[in-house]
Amino acid sequence: MTGDGLVAALLAADDTDTDAGAWPARVPHRLDSVLAALPRPASAGVRAAVAAVETYALARTGRRLAALHPDEREDVLRSLARRPRLAPLLDLLKVPVLLAAGTERTGVPPVPVPAPADPPLDCTPAEEWPARTTADAVVVGSGAGGAMAARTLARAGLSVVVIEEGRHHPTASFGRRVPLDRFTELYRDGGATVALGRPPVLLPTGRAVGGTTVVNSGTCYRTPDAVLARWRTTFGFELAERLGPLLDEAERTLNVAPQPLDVLGANGLLTLEGARRLGWSAAPLRRNAPGCKGSCQCVVGCPTGAKQSVQLSVLPDACAAGARIVTGARVHRILVDHDVPGPPRAAGVRAHRPDGGELEILSPLVVTAAGALQTPSLLRRSGLGGHPRLGRNLSVHPATSVAGRFAEPVTAWRGVLQSVGVEELRKDGILLEATASPPGMSSFVLPGLGRELRRELEESDRLATLGAMIADRPSGRVRGRDRTLVRYDLAPRDGDRLLTAVRAMGRLLFAAGATEVLTGVPKAPRAGSPEALDDLLARTGPRDLHVSAFHPTGTVAAGGDPQRAPADPEGRLRGVHGVLVADGSVLPGCPEVNPQLSIMAAALAVADAWLGGTGPGG
């Protein structure tokens, strides 16, 4: 097994932990399943890092980690951590180890609730779909944007096929499997997509029928009016003018309502209390989860079916209107007919099946909704990536998190995963949200090594966690054809915003009664008071933070200027007839709030405009 010695060292496993029943003994096995889900370069990187630590242990002690006494192992880690060039290795290795350890440490079982039957979908696995078929429209990707576009086109009477790389996961399947198994399956690259940069940004996206909405937190913000106005006036994204009623429509479809207090959980209640004491505006978030039972598993598929991800809400409507979904098929390219007068025309798609076979769906209309990280590569593979701004203009809404330690148990993983929004700093582009995760899956990395880390893990029920997202400049770029490569360089203004956000989250947690704040900064992990936090942050730069992001947008932006915008003001890809862009790519910039409603409304608008504006916004 990979890294059993390293796991033992990081988690301070001793002799009492080695019998098969003890949770640390099960972690190496879990780590293997995490690594198996990663793309080969990432798992090779982790294995190389494990090997480097072992080589270091060998050079220092003459033995491998597994053969050392726990005190000696700890000694090796401490000595490694003192070396500035090697310390980041340990920080990197903690992420998969904590992911693997989280489920085992708390023994969170599969949720044994009886799940209601999902509304019916017309799904066909790619292996069973004929090699060549025709449709009026093909939608590539079944997430927030693709689902909305498919429903709109199907309701207008077009024969629609949605083609999705991921598989269909019914709600009942979530309750039968532990969170970690769902995590590695529901995310692209096992959740380890990373934007290169300093700092690197972890950028997970979903891959399933329902796209990233299957694993999102269910928070539903409308696009702020100021953002809509800017998209219209600065970018010439004309559809922004029509989004108001389409946001209403998306909210109705998803059953959006403020989260009731009864299932909020201590993480959210403490956040409300901290904000109240500071006089900051905060409230339970509006969410698409009527009847949420607070199982805190949104990010690995809601096991109760309360969260209205699009496979439970929009796609059933689309199928009722005649749309069909092909699952497990990766669209390799959009087919284009060049032998026509005028611009080339979309002619359908060619997709790979998991068994290596291919299928073609011929269609005069192709809607790209593969998400802002995949759509640019798909267009390039199809010979449609010529626009110089395609793949550029990537905003990710960077996020970082902070934890507060409380005297009493918080057990943040019981309650609503993303529960409360704190709007005090919205004017500065900073949105705080109380966000807890299933154990180990948080983007917050616990401090320490060996005994210290073990203590943190064992006392993690005393931690409350907050996350912050900042409205960012479009500082990223998606390259690649067959494989997407993401580069993101945090703009200096945005780095400062992240540090301001850490300070604000710390203040709020102290106000709520935290005895200590864990900053997530490896070199300065703890502050015992707001003043100590200020001191510590004065010595910290954005590059020291763990940064994640969940909201990529803007890579095939729509707009009025043909030089700046790869898509026209109505979301039609320039230079070809019959290719619409209907996912996060099409937004001209960061919506400054969690984006699913913005993407759904934009996709609705794009499809509606293609049809001639006959829908709710027409």
List residues binding ligand FAD (CB under 6 A).
140-146, 163-166, 204-208, 211-213, 215-219, 299, 330-331, 369-372, 374, 378, 418, 550-551, 583-584, 594-596, 599
Write down the catalytic residue from 387, 397, 546, 551: 551
Contact (Cβ atoms closer than 8 angstroms) between residue 417 and residue 277: no
* C-alpha 457, offset from chain centre: 24
Give backbone dihedrals phi and psi of 187, rounded to 5 degrees, phi first. -105, 145
Burial class (CB in 10 A: 0-12, 13-18, 19+), 356: exposed
Tell which residue, 502, 494, 490, 571, has the closest CA to residue 148.
571
CA–CA–CA angle 366, 370, 372 (5° rounding)? 120
Q: How would you classify the pairing of strands 160-164 and 324-327?
A: parallel
What single-letter amino acid sits at 553?
T
Residue 165 CB, nearest distance to ligand FAD (Å)? Answer: 4
Contacts of 56 (CB under 8 A, 6+ apart): 76, 80, 86
- Compare residues 301 and 448 and give the one whose CB is closer to ligand FAD: 301
* Inter-residue contact 510 to 408 (CB < 8 Å): no
For residue 572, give the DSSP letter: B
CB of 45 to ligand FAD, least distance (A): 21
How near is the Cβ of 166 to ligand FAD at its closest, in Å?
Answer: 4
Cβ closer to ligand FAD: 90 or 402? 402
Active site residue 551: yes
Residue type, 335: L
**Minimum CB–partner distance for residue 433 and ligand FAD (Å):** 8
H or E stretch covering 431 = strand 430-435
527 versus 605: smaller Cβ distance to ligand FAD:
605
Contact 486, 193 (CB under 8 A): yes
Task: Output 146 or 578, the one with its CB closest to ligand FAD.
Answer: 146
Which is nearer to ligand FAD, 308 or 594 (by Cβ)? 594
Residue nearer to ligand FAD on the CB measure, 378 or 533: 378
d(CA 70, CA 87): 20
Nearest to ligand FAD of 162, 545 (CB atom): 162
Beta carbons of 604 and 148 less than 8 angstroms apart: yes
Nearest distance, CB of residue 276 and ligand FAD, angstroms: 23
Beta carbon of residue 53, minimum distance to ligand FAD (angstroms, whole number): 29
Cβ atoms 549, 399 nearer than 8 A: yes
At closest approach, how far in Å is the CB of 305 from ligand FAD? 17
Beta pairing class for 123-125 and 324-327: parallel
Tell me which residues are annotated as active site: 551
